[in-house]
A and B are shown apart, each in its own frame.
Chain A
Amino acid sequence: MGSWGFIALAYGVATIALAGYLILLGRRLREAGEELTALEREGERKRR
């Protein structure tokens, strides 16, 4: 592998790691929000 091959590999690994983390974080945030909303709705229903 030449110099530019190593550079592309390094930038590729970093981009995949950061983009992957960002996507995963967004998904976890959405799921946690949905869970909280469900819990709040259930609580309201029980109170009624």
Chain B
Amino acid sequence: MDHPSWLGRALGALAGLVLFVGMYLGLVLAPPDAVQGQVQRIMYLHVPSIVTAYLAFTVTCVASVLYLWKRELAYDAVAVSSAEIGVVLTGITLATGCIWGKATWGVWWTWDARLTLTAILFTIYVGYLMLRAFAEEPQAAARYGAVLAILGFLDIPMNHMAVQWWRTLHQPSSILRPGGPSMDPVMLGTLVVNLAGLVLLYTYLLLKRIRLERTRHRAVALRLQRGRRG
């Protein structure tokens, strides 16, 4: 997973550039919504955040399955790194959702199925990170974490389907819906650019976070080696 430093810097710069263009499109160029008006522009931040968080937790789930199968800490490094970024992105989703809710519904929070399942998703993966922090051995942390990550992933399809399964205050899907997207092409394009920017930023952060995990593993291995000798 080692990569040249220029690649990381180039990825970071590209992510910054795409996010800046996305912000310009979202705040200036895209038209205001016919019903919600200007405040609907929060969507260009809120939707890409949760979609990228779903991606992050999917990577965590796949890496956790691979860890349980192969028992190699390299897979666990990917799992924990991706989960940590997913938690940050879910936190942003919840915060921007509360702000958007206050502006449109008049309340910061309501126990709606979609909102509640997103809060549960956030809590599961915060719990995952805490569980790992309390485990003493890296292998034990990886094993317990992998099981929780796989179980926690089940929340994602439920969260996505919540607006169809239950009567919710949250609006139904505008993109992944039967009959295709129901959005203005300029709005859809703006959303795609913002999503691309956030996915690039996620990839940049993931590479950096994996490097941290590998450095920690090397330090733990050195300490264990020394403990055996001493």
- Chain A interface residues toward B at CB < 8 A: 1, 3-4, 6-7, 9-11, 13-14, 17-18, 21-22, 25-26, 28-29, 32-33, 35-36, 39-40, 43
- Give A3 to B39 CA distance when docked, in angstroms: 5
Q: What are 7 sample pairs from A and B whose C-beta atoms fall under 8 A apart? A: A6-B42, A10-B42, A10-B95, A11-B27, A25-B209, A35-B219, A36-B222
Contact with B208, one of A7, A9, A17, A25 (Cβ below 8 angstroms):
A25
What sequence of 0s and 1s flags, for each residue 193-210 of chain B, a beta carbon within 8 Å of any chain A beta carbon? Answer: 000000001000100110
- Give A39 to B42 CA distance when docked, in angstroms: 47
Please determine whether B39 and A14 come into contact, CB atoms closer than 8 angstroms: no
Please determine whether A17 and B212 come into contact, CB atoms closer than 8 angstroms: no
Taking the closest CB of chain B, its distance from the CB of A18, in whole angstroms, is 7
Beyond A3-B103, A18-B201, whether A13 also contacts B92 by CB under 8 A is yes
* Interface of B, helix, strand, loop or mixed by DSSP: helix
User: Chain B residues near A29 (CB, 8 Å)?
Assistant: 208, 211-212, 215
User: Chain B residues near A10 (CB, 8 Å)?
Assistant: 42, 45-46, 95-96, 99-100
- Chain B interface residues toward A at CB < 8 A: 23, 27, 37-39, 41-42, 45-46, 49, 85, 88, 91-92, 95-96, 99-100, 102-103, 201, 205, 208-209, 211-212, 215-216, 218-219, 222-223, 226
- Give A7 to B190 CA distance when docked, in angstroms: 16
Closest chain B residue, CB of each to CB of A9:
B99
- Give A40 to B221 CA distance when docked, in angstroms: 11
- Give A22 to B208 CA distance when docked, in angstroms: 9
Taking the closest CB of chain A, its distance from the CB of B41, in whole angstroms, is 5
